[in-house]
Amino acid sequence: MLLKTNHKIKKQAGLGMIEALIALLVISIGLLGIAALQITSMQNTSSAHWHSQAVWYSYEITDRIRANTIDPTNPVNFNLYSGIDTDTDYDMDCQTNACTAAQMVTADAQDWDDLVSLLPSGRGIISSPGANTLQVSVMWRDNSAESNCTNGEPVGSDFSCYTVTITP
């Protein structure tokens, strides 16, 4: 015996629209996350760029210091570099004129100031933490809040710093 069943098919009303809106919401949240990741990536790339420039500028001045220190047993010229601060104005041209070792220090400070000023709010300081030791610090405005200066600390919490110590 066969039973006949009478099933009525109900039509769905609006359920597809709700599914589409939920899918749109999930995709929107995902895209906002990707946008935030992209912004963070760009900030870190910029921070890494300025850090590599600071490293290059600090080694530029250390090479100049070593080039101007002809006699490593007599660190007089070496110690002349202590106290250089790129916030000070320097004016010396040793490209066209012959210079003494002391004048070369001023010319090197001027050239280094020109380089360090390319950093955002860039500043360079050379100090002497001990006998025959120089500490080269380069600082710049960067929101990474990383600082490794032990002398000549950055002027604010939004500054980063790179330091290298050299001896003759």
Q: 132-164: per-residue pLDDT in tens?
A: 888 999 988 886 655 556 555 555 667 788 888
Higher pLDDT: 101 or 122? It is 122
Kind and range of the H or E element at 114? helix 101-116
What does the mean pLDDT of the chain come to? 82
3-state secondary structure of 149: coil
Q: Which of 56-60, 64-68, 120-124 has the lowest mean pLDDT?
A: 64-68
Q: Which of 31-35, 124-128, 139-143 has the lowest mean pLDDT?
A: 139-143
Residue 94 contacts by C-beta under 8 Å, 6 or more apart in sequence? 103, 104, 107
Question: What is the structure's pLDDT at 110?
Answer: 92
Question: What is the structure's pLDDT at 162?
Answer: 86
CA 88 to chain centroid: 22
Q: Which of 11-20, 25-34, 45-54, 151-160 has the lowest mean pLDDT?
A: 151-160
- The residue-averaged pLDDT of 18-27 equals 90
On whether the CB atoms of residues 168 and 130 are closer than 8 A, the answer is: no
Higher pLDDT: 153 or 21? It is 21
- The residue-averaged pLDDT of 52-59 equals 92
Q: Residue 129's pLDDT band (boundaries 50, 70, 90)?
A: confident
**Comparing C-alpha atoms, which of 144, 151, 122, 132 is closest to residue 71?**
132
On whether the CB atoms of residues 70 and 77 are closer than 8 A, the answer is: yes
- The residue-averaged pLDDT of 87-94 equals 86
Q: Residue 36's pLDDT band (boundaries 50, 70, 90)?
A: very high
